[in-house]
Amino acid sequence: MASPETPQPGQTRMLFLGDDGLADGFRLIGFEVHASPRPDDVERVLRELQREREHAFVIVDDAIMRAEIPALQQVLDEGGRIVVIAVPPLSAPAQLSSSVAERLAAMFGNVGAAR
């Protein structure tokens, strides 16, 4: 049986890149985890996914989504084999940063703010 660190050929890799406080939860559900990565680490991981033409579901924390990381921007612009979503930090109110979240906010307003 393969571990989450070594997916079988043809499988979709599931990765979490972000805050150490969220890493254990994603590790427990089988994600490949890169806890508290530096921007150049995120760049390297995403470039590897692109180079190997792998399918991947990537969850990043909100800080990484807002960072200026060229490979991340390229993956977001291209879409396709690599799907990236962001999660907010545990200590902050839920406020997602993505093009989909921005479009939804433009259409419906900030529906999560009235809690």
Tens-place pLDDT, residues 14-45: 999 999 989 999 999 999 999 999 999 999 99
Reported as a single tens digit per residue, the pLDDT across 42-90 is 999 999 999 999 999 999 999 999 999 999 999 999 988 999 999 988 7
Distance CA 87, CA 98 (A): 10
Q: How far is CA 79 from CA 33, 91, 98, in A?
A: 22, 29, 13
Q: Does residue 4 carry a pLDDT above 60?
A: no
> CB neighbours (10 Å) of residue 34?
20
Q: Is 0.85 topped by the overall pTM?
A: no
Q: Which two tokens stand for residue 36?
A: 């508290």
